[in-house]
Structure 1
């Protein structure tokens, strides 16, 4: 099942189970467009409705899409510790301007197992005083995990915030070897 928006873009979505709970993956013909944490039925439905509004279409679950099949495979391999880099086309249409610039730098320049401070990331995009704006960009990331906003931390060593919840961020950083595995 799929749907075409006002601009003719096909949008498909699927939920995949992970070590941090269900994730909604949504894609257009241009690439993966959205990843949503804690994708219970209610969260999934709300996220799909919001995506439909923004893209001018009615996304529906369609795990048979080749792009979604590959995205699911790569996400599962990441959580199994078998993948460090996502090799998926990304559709950046849900984000623009400074936020897109910061997220593209994050995706390209902060590898698996590494972290970067908000201020450091601001400097990397030529805006050294924009650490708070980098935090806003992380909070608006439509592609968490694939565009690894969990790798952005506070300069004083604090973990920082995270849209998926701090336990989720800790789990992802432990998976990448940045933090020790939780004891319980």
Structure 2
């Protein structure tokens, strides 16, 4: 597995070693020992989630407040997404900055998003199946988020405005400056 650093501390892209031939392919999608050795941190993932979405869907930007914040290890099984993380750690030099990466069933890249980040993705293919591991259980009372179209973040979701589909719940998320942040 190859670790790719991003311009934001603690935010990493992972490229697995894929072994393929005319029959198909094989790769380890998760190996705790290898991940901990690469990143130098110990994660204990406790919940797996999966979603299927159609082209133009934007999910996010979501996070859970401390003490139930989550580290996520995300990837795409089928299709293609543009995955985005926003640094919400107030003491970080990159507070309020975002980073995006294309994840797909083809490139098999994974993205590790630590506690203290908001997370979202847009679907760039006809459909996409998105999976992720979390190191904390879902606690709806600590659920928080930021509007996907916040002008101060100015995220390019790689989808035309007229094609964007957002849930009613995500459509009500506050702007960055009004969001509850406790990291």
Give the TM-score normalised by structure 2: 0.26
Q: Counting strand residues as a fraction of each chain, which structure ranks higher?
A: 2
Q: Which has the higher contact order (CA 8 A, sep 6+)?
A: 2
